[in-house]
Structure 1
Amino acid sequence: MVCLHLCLGLMPPWGLAWAQDDDDEPPGAVIVVEETSRDRPDPMSDPASVTVIEVNEALPAASDVAGVVDSASGTTVVRLGGLGDYAAVSIRGSTTRQVQVHLDGVPLNPDGAASVNLAELPLWAFQRVEIYRGNAPPQLGASPIGGVVDLRTGDAEGAGVGASVSVGSLRTTRVTALSRAPGQLGAQPTDLLVVAEAFTTQGDYRYFSDNGTEYNLFDDSRPTRANNDKRQLNLHGRWRVGTRRARFSLLEAFLSRDEGIPGHVNSPTTAVDLGTTRSLTSASLEGQRGPLAAEGRAWLYLREERFDDREGEIGVGTQWNEDRFGSLGALGHAAWAPLPQLSPALTASLRQDRYTTTNLLTRETLDAARVRYAGTLSLSADAWLWGERLVLSPVLQGTWLDNRSLGAVPFSEEPIAPDSRKTYRRIDPRGGVLLRPVPLVAVKANAGRYLRPPDFTELFGDRGAVVGNTDLRPERGLQADAGVRVMLPEPWPVAGAVEAGVYWSRVDDLIVMVQNAQRTMVPMNLDAARVRGVELALSLDAFGWVSSQSNLTFNQSEIRTDNAAWDGNQLPRLPRWEAAQRTAVVWGDRLRVGHTWSYTDGNYWDRTNWYRAAPRSIHGVFVRVRPLPRGPDVELDLLNLTDRTVEVVPRNPLDPSDDARVVQPITDFVGYPLPGRTVLLTLRWALETGPTE
């Protein structure tokens, strides 16, 4: 109800009346559909560097949100293990907190308030995934340093139900059910989308361990990954009424997740547990009348995490904490098209974030609720010139942060920051330009300035593997990119596009997680960091039966500091080279055979660049058949087809005179081992029962 009241309050008083006069537009009126309905962005006409990935039958049944995002150029997904394990995204060398993840435009981590675990999101609840690598649309109310991942439920294409059941290695089971139901409320059409997904796995795969002694081969072993079980339930519902000219939407996304925390490859745990409950409730109202378009949305985001390490296996000491995070916010966006070539817009948002932590060992709340207020106001004006061959998209965004209610340093009365830094006011410009000299070629460039304050976990976190730092300063960033996209001519038997781009970013006071000797991550400010890179993407659809998607990313990162031990080093957890490739051969609806491949160059674990993870090259295949014309589909997925779990690497890469080589486990970005070959068998059934009214 709070969301509903906020949403209605943001709309113009004539907005609700639009549902009753759909046909009273004067001849020649300009309708700004794109501004309110958030149609699928077109990379050929949008100045932003954006990738759109449709969630459809072309994806393997074993796909998840993390894998789909990782297949885009410029993205790096940080995984901590295998199926269902923690996964967060970095874009163009950013930290995972510098990327905002939205669900139908609602932020799950406003202002980078956390690293969003993509494993918590049910892929098949969405119609598409939009990845903005810079200059996100102003109606999202976001200007993160890294970019935005927006998961869109889309529009219902007809009534239908569907279900899938997957079983496989490591006692893995996933059950998904979906229902779409169009209807009528008075004279207005409605549609209801309901998705439920349950997932469970033991995650007990075998892995290689050198026991932390690279020079001693006699204690090497292949233990079984313990305490790596996961149980997760997602419930996702969306109800809409009205047309695009006036439409009201309600959304609820609920998560319940419980998982063991297995620990580092050389420091495994047996009993550490993390339980998570999340609820996102949002209401939105959008409409348009003549040259005016407006949208208002409000949301309430609640998240509760219970970390149980009563055995003291991670970090120092025993812990049993309950952390609660809440965000109540509202956003309004209005656009006006006085001319076909010009559309100025105004976007405003206001938000309250709240954080509390309770020690369940003593049943005491450690501190009063820590509260932060945030607001944004942005002005933008899209302009289409030279017969729409030139598009300009400038944005001027003001940000206000009030930290006066953050409280004191834990176990102290010392304030978090000096009085002069308790509030932040900043104006950041950004913009993009697109040029289409010919219809099949788009040249684009973007640049902007950005700000991200440290979040509650970075300031106050105390969860064994992560310890907060109250001395952190906000990150300040500059970002620029340029690229070209070329479409193949439609008459050709091979359709597709090729895209190439370069990017540059600099972040002052960059916050990075640094691993200490106790395998504990501590956030620290670096003086500055610079990232330069190149990204290439190629998509092809040949003769109607072969589809292919390839991406290649090169990152050159550099720490800039007065400390000679770190200056010039590569950023932690950021590989130089990444590649992804997916090819499928299709025979109508009856057969689909595909191959996937991903490569990640070795990355360093910390800023000293002493410890380097081994490169990892992972292949996968899938085969899908439909024995009967109306289904169901049966699919077999083989992940990590070659069962690669180790690599042979130099024993001491810092010593050129040491030419010895050792076996090293293939781990992810902080030393969590990746699983070997994994098999999944999926039965998927879908039934369309009728068109949308």
Structure 2
Amino acid sequence: MLFRRPTPVLPVCLLLLHLSSAQAESAVIRDTETTVVTATKETDLNALNTPNYQILHREDFIDSSQTLGDLLQKINGIQIRQISGLGNPASVSIRGSSSKQVQLYIDGQLINDSQFGGFDVNQLPTEQIDSIEISKSQALGTGSTPIGGVIRINTYNPQIDSARISLASGSFGYREVNLMANKLFTNYSLAAGFSHVQSDNNYSYQVPQNFVVPSISTKEKLANNAYEKNALHLNSEIYLGQHLLRFNMQYTEQRKELANYQNNSPENTSEISSDSWRFGYLHNWQSSHVWLAQVELEAYTQFTDEIYLEQPTGVMNKRANYQSVKSFAGIKPTLNAGDLVITPFINFNHQIFESTTVLKGQATPCNGINSCDVTASQQQLNYGTRLEWPIVQLALTPYALISQSQEQNANSVLNKSGSKHIDEQDYTTQELGITYQPNKFNAVVDDRFDFSAFLTWSNGVRAPTLFEMFGDRGSFKGNPNLQPEEAKTLSLGSTVSYANLSFTGAFYQQQLVNSIVAIFNSSNVGSYSNVSQAELTGLELQANYKVSSDLSLMLQTNLIDSNTQSEYTAYHNKRLPGIYHQQYSAGIRYAITEHWQINLNSNIDNELYFNRANVFDSVGNSTENPANRLTTDLQLGWKKERFTAHLAINNLFDDEYQDLANRPAQGRNIQFKIAIKEI
């Protein structure tokens, strides 16, 4: 059993102070005779500047007090799903996908949970991020092809001496503190960071049943909804000739109170808390052989301990403990055969999950009312090859990626004898693509004009989670006969720019089969089934115009048309749930002076359905979709030498739109952040 560990605040502060004092020393210049190598990212082989691939750099977001979810939802085609304020898990939809169909990587580690399939995109503070890579409907470099796409987060690990401190405060008791420090030695570098975030989350909420007088509905500040997180990260690199060794560690401790949305009870003390440790290792060898460019060896492990306390009346009623261990090892050489780049790879992934539930101090029985405690495991072997062949004469770069996965899944019920399930699955994913980039191959004389186009086809797979196959939550049962979800996606688009005007467009069509849906029978017993297939067509358009060196404009459009086909009437001829089918955005950025800048963005989001039957509760007997929303965000920034200040007013006009659970979300909120670098 994993034990909860206290946050190592004092050691972190001492380390940061040590690195900061070392900053004052004279800079150490590396020996010029030493061969310096840098880790080649997955996307180096797929650096296609197209609507299918985008990257956010640290300087794009570091000065604002925003979560990763805030940043991603500004990308055309990405939607963030979050319920009830900071601290609740925020999931991602890319081009209409479910969050389980999107892969999230942090420093090469796949964060998706094998038990439930999801992830919280806000688990890593933005201050600890160096860059964010987004690939839509495709893998990033190597690995299995997902249905929805990939988000890869690279943590901050600069090759310079620096230090930084930032403070933020905002509405609903929001407070944030970040400390960062980096030190460069001759053949060694070290980066460390600590972050603390907390929020009362006590925004006003329309309570259906008042706690004192249940017959009336009142608007009150949401109680027992506070959130707190501490995060520490350490990165170090060692350079030994042609070898780069990188070690990283991430520790996160967080606690989220769970509000009672029905009556906002002041006696409620329910909460969920977690500790998570992640250790990673990367060895990159830059070879001197003509045919062998490099070899990359990667490994990581992660331990997570999560505790859920259900205490609606202030007295402990239920305690659930969820523990998981993830381990990964992989090797990936890069081979050259003339202009052909070949990247074979093999990865091994092992995950273990265990749950323990206690009800009023006693172990819970496994029956049709209570949950069953389980121990589950998944072993996955993934191997394949990526081929890329630049054709300089035609300014074309075609590529192909094929991946094979072999899984062995097991599940045992702890509080019920003789209940064990074992399942094995094999599946293959493929990608084919070609990109036309004349400027990349110096085929265009006019450097003011740039044009690129791409065409890709992918066959992505989302394997069922362990809970979907074996889960047991009282009257909800797993289904060991589930087939993986599979989607074939065709996408094409282009980017055109001339002088100060640029235009980006992408069209995509996806055919999804074996959609996994929860189905309940007449006895109200539910389980997951492969019940439907869906067709999805989308269009993404974006225009940017730089009016002058001080003023720039942006317009975005994201349109999705979806339809499902199923033998179940409730899921037949319906729109996909949980996504907005129409989104429009407009933004303006203006440099007021040398030091002041203002950004204004407005967004219109329409046509969201809360469930697969496309049923939602109306507001005031209206038949309109209650989640349609118009939001406007205002940001004012100031920067001078080592100092920055940032003011953000989100939801400027206090539009209390519905969240994804069809509950009123927080209205206008204000955040202010200051930062000092090179302290």
Which residue identity does 2:407 align to in structure 1? L
TM-score by length of 1: 0.80
Q: CA deviation at 1:167?
A: 1.1
CA gap of 1:476–1:568, structure 2 versus 1, over 3 A, is same
Q: CA deviation at 1:471?
A: 4.9
Between the aligned partners of 1:575 and 1:370, the Cα distance in structure 2 is 35
1:70 aligns with 2:73: yes
Match of 1:554 in 2: 559
CA gap of 1:240–1:34, structure 2 versus 1, over 3 A, is closer
CA gap of 1:532–1:227, structure 2 versus 1, over 3 A, is same
1:500 pairs with one of 501, 505, 516:
505
After superposition, residues 145-544 of structure 1 pair within 5 angstroms as: 145-153=147-155, 156=158, 158-184=160-186, 188=187, 190-208=188-206, 219-242=216-239, 245-262=242-259, 264=261, 270-290=268-288, 291=290, 292=292, 293-311=294-312, 319-339=318-338, 341-361=339-359, 362=361, 367=373, 369-387=375-393, 389-403=395-409, 405-407=410-412, 411=416, 413-416=418-421, 422-436=423-437, 440-459=450-469, 469-471=478-480, 473-489=482-498, 492=499, 494=500, 497-512=502-517, 525-544=530-549
Helix, strand or coil for the counterpart of 2:218?
A: coil
Tell whether the 8 Å contact from 1:236 to 1:253 is kept in structure 2 after alignment. Answer: yes
Q: CA deviation at 1:428?
A: 2.4
Between the aligned partners of 1:43 and 1:580, the Cα distance in structure 2 is 25
After superposition, residues 88-103 of structure 1 pair within 5 angstroms as: 88-103=91-106
Tell whether the 8 Å contact from 1:469 to 1:524 is kept in structure 2 after alignment. Answer: no
Q: CA deviation at 1:572?
A: 1.7
Helix, strand or coil for the counterpart of 2:117?
A: coil
Q: CA deviation at 1:179?
A: 1.3
Tell whether the 8 Å contact from 1:100 to 1:110 is kept in structure 2 after alignment. Answer: no
Match of 2:581 in 1: 576
Between the aligned partners of 1:516 and 1:121, the Cα distance in structure 2 is 40
Helix, strand or coil for the counterpart of 2:319?
A: strand
CA gap of 1:451–1:39, structure 2 versus 1, over 3 A, is closer
Helix, strand or coil for the counterpart of 1:526?
A: strand
Helix, strand or coil for the counterpart of 2:122?
A: helix
Match of 1:11 in 2: none
Which residue identity does 1:338 align to in structure 2? A
Q: CA RMSD in A?
A: 3.5
CA gap of 1:287–1:595, structure 2 versus 1, over 3 A, is same
1:598 aligns with 2:606: no
Gaps of 5+ in 1: 1-18, 26-30, 213-217, 646-665, 689-693
Helix, strand or coil for the counterpart of 2:393?
A: coil
Between the aligned partners of 1:264 and 1:520, the Cα distance in structure 2 is 25
Between the aligned partners of 1:81 and 1:443, the Cα distance in structure 2 is 40
Match of 2:84 in 1: 81
Tell whether the 8 Å contact from 1:111 to 1:453 is kept in structure 2 after alignment. Answer: no
Between the aligned partners of 2:205 and 2:566, the Cα distance in structure 1 is 37
Tell whether the 8 Å contact from 1:253 to 1:279 is kept in structure 2 after alignment. Answer: yes
Q: CA deviation at 1:51?
A: 1.4
Match of 1:616 in 2: 629
Q: Deviations over 1:171-213 (max 9, x none)?
A: 11011111122112xxx3x22221211011110000335669x
Q: Which one is further off, 547-556 or 156-165?
A: 547-556
Match of 2:641 in 1: 630
Q: CA deviation at 1:363?
A: 6.7
Helix, strand or coil for the counterpart of 2:332?
A: strand
Q: CA deviation at 1:613?
A: 4.0
CA gap of 1:111–1:481, structure 2 versus 1, over 3 A, is farther
Tell whether the 8 Å contact from 2:460 to 2:487 is kept in structure 1 after alignment. Answer: yes
Tell whether the 8 Å contact from 1:172 to 1:201 is kept in structure 2 after alignment. Answer: yes
Between the aligned partners of 1:85 and 1:512, the Cα distance in structure 2 is 23
Match of 2:675 in 1: 684
Between the aligned partners of 2:93 and 2:583, the Cα distance in structure 1 is 12
Between the aligned partners of 1:244 and 1:564, the Cα distance in structure 2 is 65
Between the aligned partners of 1:678 and 1:449, the Cα distance in structure 2 is 42
Helix, strand or coil for the counterpart of 1:601?
A: strand
1:123 pairs with one of 123, 126, 144:
126
Q: Deviations over 1:34-60 (max 9, x none)?
A: 95575596433x7x8111122325666
Q: CA deviation at 1:483?
A: 2.8
Q: CA deviation at 1:530?
A: 2.4
Tell whether the 8 Å contact from 2:284 to 2:295 is kept in structure 1 after alignment. Answer: yes
Helix, strand or coil for the counterpart of 1:68?
A: helix
Tell whether the 8 Å contact from 1:483 to 1:499 is kept in structure 2 after alignment. Answer: no
CA gap of 1:59–1:388, structure 2 versus 1, over 3 A, is farther
Tell whether the 8 Å contact from 1:265 to 1:673 is kept in structure 2 after alignment. Answer: no
Helix, strand or coil for the counterpart of 2:482?
A: coil
Between the aligned partners of 1:545 and 1:507, the Cα distance in structure 2 is 45
CA gap of 1:86–1:130, structure 2 versus 1, over 3 A, is same
Between the aligned partners of 1:349 and 1:544, the Cα distance in structure 2 is 48
Q: CA deviation at 1:587?
A: 5.0
Between the aligned partners of 1:23 and 1:201, the Cα distance in structure 2 is 48
Between the aligned partners of 1:515 and 1:196, the Cα distance in structure 2 is 46
Between the aligned partners of 2:649 and 2:528, the Cα distance in structure 1 is 37
Q: CA deviation at 1:561?
A: 0.3
CA gap of 1:423–1:462, structure 2 versus 1, over 3 A, is closer
Helix, strand or coil for the counterpart of 2:221?
A: coil
TM-score by length of 2: 0.82
1:639 pairs with one of 650, 653, 665:
650
Between the aligned partners of 2:88 and 2:102, the Cα distance in structure 1 is 19
Tell whether the 8 Å contact from 1:275 to 1:305 is kept in structure 2 after alignment. Answer: yes
Tell whether the 8 Å contact from 1:36 to 1:295 is kept in structure 2 after alignment. Answer: no
Tell whether the 8 Å contact from 2:651 to 2:667 is kept in structure 1 after alignment. Answer: yes
Between the aligned partners of 1:467 and 1:318, the Cα distance in structure 2 is 21
Between the aligned partners of 1:360 and 1:352, the Cα distance in structure 2 is 27
Q: CA deviation at 1:288?
A: 1.8
Q: Deviations over 1:619-664 (max 9, x none)?
A: 11121224xx43432222111110111xxxxxxxxxxxxxxxxxxx
Between the aligned partners of 2:196 and 2:86, the Cα distance in structure 1 is 13
CA gap of 1:228–1:599, structure 2 versus 1, over 3 A, is farther
Tell whether the 8 Å contact from 2:128 to 2:193 is kept in structure 1 after alignment. Answer: yes
Q: Which one is further off, 150-159 or 553-562?
A: 150-159
Q: Deviations over 1:594-625 (max 9, x none)?
A: 11233322422211212154201211112122
Tell whether the 8 Å contact from 2:506 to 2:539 is kept in structure 1 after alignment. Answer: yes
Q: CA deviation at 1:581?
A: 4.2
Between the aligned partners of 1:191 and 1:498, the Cα distance in structure 2 is 41
Q: CA deviation at 1:459?
A: 4.5
CA gap of 1:448–1:22, structure 2 versus 1, over 3 A, is farther
Between the aligned partners of 1:199 and 1:500, the Cα distance in structure 2 is 38
Which structure has more relative contact order (CA 8 Å, sep 6+)? It is: 1
CA gap of 1:50–1:329, structure 2 versus 1, over 3 A, is same
Which residue identity does 1:146 align to in structure 2? G
Tell whether the 8 Å contact from 2:90 to 2:122 is kept in structure 1 after alignment. Answer: yes
CA gap of 1:452–1:588, structure 2 versus 1, over 3 A, is same
